[in-house]
Amino acid sequence: MNLKKSAKSPEKKPVAIGDKELQFAFGKENYRIMLIGLAVLALGFILMVGGGSKDPYVFNDGMFNFQRLTLAPLLILAGYVIEIYAIMKKPND
């Protein structure tokens, strides 16, 4: 009987709850990447806010600038891509 563990498959340490063993779906790195993705999403939505006019009869060109039309949607798209990557990445630990 060989008790050596291979270097390629590290042993996952399950968490015991009662008589059942629980393994987490994601590792620490996955959660870290998810938080980065959420921060990028939040930044994109924050950059999209504003551009309105206080007077409804006055037109404001501020809503048609680079920040709201290009940068914010690209950040939101990047945030969703980061989230998908974080979910699909195989946990290392």
Q: Are 46 and 11 in contact (CB under 8 A)?
A: no
Does the model's pTM come out above 0.75? no
**pLDDT of the residue at 21:** 73
Sorting pLDDT into bands at 50, 70 and 90, what band is 44? very high
Domain boundaries, the chain: 27-88
Q: For 78, phi and psi rounded to 5 degrees?
A: -65, -40
Residue 21 parent element (H or E): strand 20-22
